[in-house]
């Protein structure tokens, strides 16, 4: 079974994200910007592990996902990374050089999601938004797909590799009580950077 | 001559495996801990560690807190600790430096960069371990 997801449908949300309204939406925290950041961060992390991907719109029945929650000033959300067990096994073997087992595959998916959100956090910092990351958790299930009727799915990206599809999505909510306000822009260290003190 | 012993502390087995593979090929002896608490136990019980690579976000005891605890003990003042993390937030980098960490690497890392950094900093740790 194949599901078609439409990132553009989420982008239509624009100012209203999820069940709550963002009082003072920042242009730099627009759905379009987040979508672009999610696309870029996911593709870049996969590329750094030797996995070349292309954008796609079709998602099959995904069976494993890693989810990391995050919070910030006026923000709360989660990043998810999902794929199928066979795809994950192939990508793991290609990147790690050994077949691994189910536990190793889950662990690696958690680490990948951590790297995607770490990179995304850096991009948010440059826009003045600081978030704190939780520990990633993985879940297995059947037919794991984004729920298009849930308007809190503000961005997702489907990437196709030769081994199969990888889906990344970003849930973000803000509250009236703590409307997201951008702080000063911060230049974070980026992937691969080394700082010697 | 003994190989310099490197402790990798990370809750991701995949990262521990990748670091072990990379550093073993470069001639280092690698031991592992799965979180900050276990890492602290190993550091306090083994005196032959030349350098510590430490993740930040981990269960039980996070990496920054672990470095602060370890460095509060003068006997570990010279032990080089390098943070190896997906985080790049300047406030966290400053906190690690203030605690006594010697470096910060943002994942995903390049093998040659990791080896060069470890080789450069492990010498000081070797000298401390020899004392």
pLDDT > 70 fraction of chain B, expressed in percent and rounded: 93
Within a domain: A18: yes
Cβ neighbours of B121 in A, within 8 Å:
196
Rounded to a whole number of angstroms, the distance from the CA of B75 to the nearest CA of chain A is 20
Within a domain: A194: no
B-interface mutation test, from A96, A122, A133, A197, most B Cβ less than 10 A away:
A197
pLDDT attached to residue A189: 84
CATH at A122: 3.40.1550.10
From CA B90, how far away is CA A101, in angstroms rounded?
36
Within a domain: A58: yes
Interface check for B86 against chain A (CB to CB < 8 A): the answer is yes
**Tens-digit pLDDT profile for residues B29-72:** 999 999 999 999 999 999 999 999 999 999 999 999 999 999 99
pLDDT for B111 beyond 90: yes
CATH at B100: 3.40.50.2300
Task: Please tell me whether residue B5 adopts helix, strand or coil conformation.
Answer: strand
**Tens-digit pLDDT profile for residues A21-49:** 333 344 457 788 888 999 999 999 999 99
pLDDT attached to residue A33: 86
pLDDT attached to residue A21: 30
Task: Note whether B88 contacts A118, CB cutoff 8 Å.
Answer: yes
Task: Note whether A107 contacts B21, CB cutoff 8 Å.
Answer: no
Strand spans (E) along B11-121: 29-33, 49-54, 81-85, 103-106
State the ipTM, two decimals.
0.87
Looking at the structure of chain B, the number of domains it has is 1
Strand pairing category for B103-106 and A194-196: antiparallel
pLDDT attached to residue B105: 95
Within a domain: A22: yes
**Tens-digit pLDDT profile for residues A84-104:** 999 999 999 999 999 999 999
How many Cβ atoms from other residues are within 10 Å of residue A83's Cβ?
A: 29
Within a domain: A187: no
Residue span of the structural domain in which A117 resides: 3-173
Interface check for A190 against chain B (CB to CB < 8 A): the answer is yes
Residue span of the structural domain in which B86 resides: 5-130
pLDDT attached to residue A149: 65
Within a domain: A184: no
Task: Note whether B117 contacts A49, CB cutoff 8 Å.
Answer: no
pLDDT band at A187 (very low <50, low <70, confident <90, very high): confident
Looking at the structure of chain A, the number of domains it has is 1
Interface check for B25 against chain A (CB to CB < 8 A): the answer is no
Average pLDDT score over residue span B110-121: 94
A-interface mutation test, from B19, B20, B106, most A Cβ less than 10 A away:
B106
């Amino acid at each position: 079974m194949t599901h078609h997801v439409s990132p553009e449908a989420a982008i239509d949300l624009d100012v209203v994200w999820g069940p709550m309204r963002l009082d003072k939406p920042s242009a730099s925290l627009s759905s379009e910007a987040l979508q672009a950041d999610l696309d870029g961060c996911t593709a870049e992390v996969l590329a750094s592990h030797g996995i070349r991907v292309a954008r796609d719109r079709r998602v099959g029945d995904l069976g494993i996902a890693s989810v990391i929650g995050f919070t910030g000033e006026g923000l709360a959300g989660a990043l998810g990374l999902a794929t199928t067990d066979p795809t994950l096994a192939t990508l793991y073997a290609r990147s790690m050089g050994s077949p691994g087992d189910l536990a190793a595959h889950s662990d690696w998916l958690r680490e990948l999601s951590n790297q995607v959100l770490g990179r995304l956090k850096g991009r948010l910092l440059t826009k003045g938004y600081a978030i704190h990351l939780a520990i990633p958790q993985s879940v297995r299930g059947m037919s794991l797909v984004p729920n298009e009727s849930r308007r809190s799915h503000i961005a997702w990206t489907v990437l196709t590799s030769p081994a199969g599809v990888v889906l990344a999505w970003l849930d973000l909510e803000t509250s009236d009580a703590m409307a997201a306000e951008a702080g000063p822009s911060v230049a974070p260290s980026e992937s691969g950077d080394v700082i010697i003190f | 001559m003994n190989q310099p012993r490197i402790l990798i502390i990370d809750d991701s087995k995949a990262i521990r495996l990748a670091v072990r593979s990379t550093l073993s090929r470069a001639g280092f002896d690698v031991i592992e801990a799965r979180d900050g608490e276990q890492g602290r136990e190993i550091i306090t019980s083994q005196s032959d560690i030349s350098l510590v690579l430490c993740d930040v976000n981990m269960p039980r005891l996070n990496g920054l807190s672990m470095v602060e605890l370890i460095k509060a003990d003068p006997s570990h003042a010279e032990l080089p600790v390098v943070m190896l993390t997906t985080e790049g937030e300047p406030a966290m980098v400053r906190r690690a430096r203030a605690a006594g960490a010697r470096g910060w690497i943002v994942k995903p890392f390049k093998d040659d960069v990791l080896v060069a950094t470890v080789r450069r900093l492990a010498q000081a740790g070797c000298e401390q371990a020899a004392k």
